[in-house]
Amino acid sequence: MKKVLEVNHLKKYYHTKKEEILSLKDISFCVYEGEILSIVGPSGCGKSTILSILCNLIPLSDGAIYQDKNYKIAYMLQEDSLLPYLTVLENCFIGLKIENHLTEQNKEYVLSLLDLYGLSDFQNKYPNQLSGGMRQRVALIRTLAVKPDILLLDEAMSALDYQSKLKIEEDIYNIIKKEGKTAILVTHDIEEAISMSDRVIVLTNRPSSIKNIYPIELQEKNGPIKNRSDLNFSKYFNIIWGDFNEKI
Ligand code: ADP
Ligand code: MG
């Protein structure tokens, strides 16, 4: 398998006026092409910090990141962060506009994604006219519009009610696999991580290091809803739940 990203001994301090906070103590992992890798850990342990460093929003304090420069990274934030005064279509075009790549061909690509994922009829609506799940799908299409190879998803589903969450997990899983993307998914939801991923990284409390990395082997991988009833699912759940509750 081809490695597209490697993180070596990453360390991160935040500096406030009063103190220095060690957020990441020692984080090392790699990401393989085509996989969905989840990072789980307790709230405040540094999950978002890792993603923000990976896409250069904030600097690292120590360690190194090796990234294949042919692979383009895109970040989808926790809140859908759609602009309320733009239509669905205009929101989806934003990344392309910023990159100065709003060509006819790319517009067609966005329209085809909207069509494929059931949003064509809503392209001229505004975000507040859509359900939470639909807004997340629009945010995902906006992220896909710039044709990234690696998607970073930060708690993308966590603000939704359970039913919408399962549906959007299924959609996002299918979109990532169908479009042949690689993804790093950050979540505090153990079930979401196991049911969506090829591997799950469990972090310790802050200052975080890696507690365990689990390859997820199910009888059959059929998408996050069906995967939840796989015989091995509860085995992984119990192990990771144990990791969460062990005092470190
Ligand atoms: P998570 O996404 O796992 O909930 P974060 O990466 O957002 O955690 O934050 C990890 C820790 O780093 C938090 O406990 C917080 O105290 C600290 N932190 C995050 N952002 C900042 C910041 N801008 N300034 C100071 N401390 C921060
Ligand atoms: Mg976070």
Q: Which residue has tokens 């975000």?
A: 127
Q: What is the pLDDT of residues 83-124, one digit of tens each?
A: 999 999 999 999 899 989 999 999 999 999 899 888 999 999
Residue 46 Cα to ligand 1 midpoint, Å, equals 6
Q: What is the pLDDT of residues 63-93, one digit of tens each?
A: 999 998 889 999 887 666 899 999 999 999 9
Residue 163 Cα to ligand 2 midpoint, Å, equals 22
Indicate which ligand has the atom closest to the C-alpha of 58. 1
Atom of ligand 1 nearest to the CA of 154: 2
Q: Which domains does the chain have, with CATH numbers?
A: 3-71+149-244 (3.40.50.300), 82-148 (no CATH)
Closest CA to 146 of 68, 67, 74: 74
Determine which of 34-43, 201-210, 238-247 has the lowest per-residue pLDDT on average: 238-247
Buried-state track 203-242, b at ≥16 Cβ within 10 A, e below 16: bbbbbbbbbeebebebeebeebeebbebeebeebbeebee
As given in the structure block, the two tokens for residue 56 are 């250069």
